[in-house]
Amino acid sequence: MTVVFAMLLDALLGEPKWLWDRVPHPAVLMGQGISWLETRLNTGKDRRAKGILLVIVLVASALIAGSVLSTFGPLVEIIIGAVLLAQRSLADHVSDVARALRLSLGDGRMMVARIVGRDVNALDRSGVARGAIESAAENLSDGVIAPVFWFALLGLPGLLAYKIINTADSMVGYRNDRYEEFGWAAARLDDLVNWPAARLTAVLITLAHFRPENMKAVLRDAGLHRSPNAGWPEAAMASVLGISLSGPRSYDGTLRDEPYVNPEGRRDLGPDDIDASVSVLWRTWGLTLVFVALWWVIA
């Protein structure tokens, strides 16, 4: 039942700025710890082995910390769980892009740059909307459904372990000279722990909109995405909204000609489509809450 209350608390309060202006966010502390270890381990030879060591240390530390914190009772678990879920903040950030895009294209580009990693300066109106909607879909999976999944399955230790793996991947899981070898373990483990949630997210999106038949399109298109996991929630989002996602985009000045997900969908997108994606977030969250509550009753 702690998971249900954590989901509700997160949806109600989100990320209170007044609190995180005064104390460091747990994700910030995780990032600081990862950075400290990375500067000491990511040197010399055998960087892949050192990266594996990093992951072992991080996961073990998270499991131990979660086990210790759990001894303080359900209230502590609920508060920490709410802090590490991202439903309210995700919905707010995506909605901010829609509001900004209604003001001007420049405002839309500036706001979407806060939630996507692609180059935004050349994005048109549809490109800004597409970026926001893709971010909504991907982050629904790894910012909401995956944490809920591991929290429900393994308690607070599982949630903390998932979050530190996800944070490590976002910091060192890049294919460049510095992290190609060292970040290999973090990136592969992140793919693994997100594997069930990505597919579960796609199912939840289609069920929340009473369109289980859309899973045919999801199964067809999910593999078109460059990521082994992100294509599932994106394909489901595109399918229920009747739009195309993914496609060509630029990173660090290099254009990547990637295929569209749900290619037959509408490609002229705008703020209303972003708002529709936020509605998908909340409907999917609501269905997830129902399933988690039923799981608690049955278990």
**Per residue in 66-82, pLDDT tens?**
999 999 999 999 999 99
Query: What is the predicted pLDDT for the residue at 255?
Result: 74
At residue 260, the 3 state secondary structure works out as: strand
**Per residue in 152-189, pLDDT tens?**
999 999 999 999 999 999 999 888 888 999 999 999 99
Query: What is the predicted pLDDT for the residue at 224?
Result: 85
In one letter, which amino acid is 103? Answer: L
- The strand pairing partners of 249, in sequence order, are 256
Quote the DSSP letter at residue 144.
Answer: I
Q: In the chain, where do the E strands start and end?
A: 245-246, 249-251, 254-256, 260-261
Residue 225 in tokens: 């995405």
Q: Which of 233, 228, 145, 151 is nearest to 192 (CA)?
A: 228
Torsion of CA 273, 120, 139, 231, to 10 degrees: 80
Query: For residue 46, what pLDDT band results from cuts at 50, 70 and 90?
Result: very high
Q: Is 80 exceeded by the pLDDT of residue 204?
A: yes
HEC string for 189-257: HHHHHHHHHHHHHHHHHHHHCCCHHHHHHHHHHHHHCCCCCCHHHHHHHHHHHCECEECCEEECCEEEC
**Per residue in 227-268, pLDDT tens?**
889 999 999 999 999 999 988 887 776 778 888 999 999 999
Report the percent of the chain where pLDDT is more than 70: 99
Query: What is the predicted pLDDT for the residue at 247?
Result: 85
Query: For residue 122, what pLDDT band results from cuts at 50, 70 and 90?
Result: confident
Q: Is 80 exceeded by the pLDDT of residue 299?
A: no
Please give the Cα distance from 58 to 60 (Å, whole number): 6
Q: What backbone torsions phi and psi does residue 225 show, to the nearest 5 degrees?
A: -75, 150
Please give the Cα distance from 169 to 191 (Å, whole number): 9
Residue 127 in tokens: 């490109």
Please give the Cα distance from 219 to 231 (Å, whole number): 10
Report the pLDDT averaged over residues 80-90: 95
Quote the DSSP letter at residue 121.
Answer: T
Report the pLDDT averaged over residues 90-116: 95
Query: What is the predicted pLDDT for the residue at 188?
Result: 96
Query: What is the predicted pLDDT for the residue at 175?
Result: 83
Query: For residue 206, what pLDDT band results from cuts at 50, 70 and 90?
Result: very high
Domain spans in the chain, listed from the N-terminal domain onward: 2-298
Average pLDDT of the chain is 93
Report the pLDDT averaged over residues 27-37: 93
Instruction: Report whether 163 contacts 34 (CB < 8 A).
Output: no
